[in-house]
Amino acid sequence: MNNLNGLKPASIWSHFEAICQIPRPSKREDKIIAFLADFARLNQLPFKKDSAGNVLISKAASKGMENKRALVLQSHLDMVCEKNEGTIHNFDTDPIKPYIDGEWVTAEGTTLGADCGIGIAAQLAILTADNLKHGPIECLFTVDEETGLTGAKALEAGFFTGKALINLDSEDEGELFIGCAGGIDTVISIHYETVDTPGGFFPVRISVSGLLGGHSGDDINKNRGNAIKILNRFLWQTMQKYEIYLADYQGGNLRNAIAREASAVVLVPVSRKEKVTIDFNIYRSQLESEIILDEPGVKLLLESCELPGKVIDHLSQSKLVNALYACPHGVLAMSTRMPGLVETSTNLASVKTKSENLIEITTSQRSDLESGKWDAAYMVESVFQLIESNIRHGEGYPGWTPNPSSELLSVTRSSYLRLFEVEPIVRSIHAGLECGLFLEKFPELDMISFGPTMRGVHSPDEKINIKTVDKFWNLLIEVLANY
């Protein structure tokens, strides 16, 4: 503890550092929920929890503000759990280790959890502050935002009373968000047969690492490399020239993160070993020249490994590699309604060789348009319909349609201008926020989202800019005083 000692505002950073000590993976938020219950009891604040695990802590209006309308502050409790290869960390038991790196706060080898830990910290700071002006406050903490938005989906009407809500889950200071994309997951299962490892073949492990990764919504237009696509491109090219056998294929991790690492165990003919190595070195050089400006840390390795006893049958191998090559990834359409905004995208998130002769491929699609979301999902489905596979779409979640006439937006905009003497940018975001689901149950809800600047979210490179946290805090308390 105290790695962040001395940062301003002290109240937010002390709460954030305390949150970092509490494991909070998606779907396993019991420890942070218990922490909030103890926090409410200690500070004599009303606390309630619903059957899904969502928490509401309320605070009465400050003196003289009793007639103000209630305002809901909302963040999610879970965090994306990603770590660098070689980092020893158990996200179920071990604390996150934040530290100051110049103008940023980051973590040692893991995601930082500032998404959405800094929002939680801001809520706790407001709940414990005794010198702020504000009307009635309801702090809503939802569960499982990162892997399905199940907390927001399960939220019951009437759980909170406020008619206006500030979502604290944005990542660009100076930008006010009034809309977000809807999304859906498409998961593909491919069953395969194994055959005995043939003689005359040499085993190698081909790996891709060192990529930036990032958020599959907010970073999808930043030319980030996808480790699965990079690996699969070489596998496809090699299959066209030589008889090879694939024994294992692993890539990516979470559906909402761009794949940073991927690897495959491949058997190459002993007689072609040198040629495959030359081909790999040529490919590595070509690939690096293509993406080095956007991915300076990319690393491709081909190394010998232990000979497996079984390999994937040739037909399944061919179907898999061809389908992954054809599977779309990245931006599919830019918005014509809001220039500069991605309208529709898809993310090839992970490929996992599982037990019982099963390979599972996870993808996610996002769009400002409900029809665009499904078009992207069907595009992915159509690729895998060409091979024998099981395809299923998730429930998905709705987008949040912008309301430029929002009263809360007007108050926030004028507060920002008054504080910093510059107009904030007002826009929509190509990431999934819980706001669309809130609107389904609270149709009259007026909403806005803002936060400090974060980079590398959903990857071990995640970091949060220190100066912008102070601006975020000042804006938040100014809006509380003026709404």
- What is the set of active-site residues? 78, 145
End-to-end CA distance of the chain: 36
Question: Who's near 405: CB < 8 A, 6+ residues apart?
Answer: none
User: How far apart are the C-alpha atoms of 349 and 363, rounded to whole Å?
Assistant: 5
Return the amino acid letter for 135.
G
- Asked if residue 74 lies in contact with residue 143, where contact means CB atoms within 8 angstroms, the answer is no
User: How far apart are the C-alpha atoms of 417 and 423, rounded to whole Å?
Assistant: 5
Show the tokens assigned to 240: 């066209």
To 10 degrees, what angle do helices 114-128 and 10-20 make? 130
- Considering only CA atoms, which of 118, 119, 106 is closest in space to residue 460? 106
Element of type H or E holding 17: helix 10-20
User: How far apart are the C-alpha atoms of 15 and 315, rounded to whole Å?
Assistant: 55
- Asked if residue 2 lies in contact with residue 17, where contact means CB atoms within 8 angstroms, the answer is yes
Question: Who's near 335: CB < 8 A, 6+ residues apart?
Answer: 341, 342, 343, 368, 428
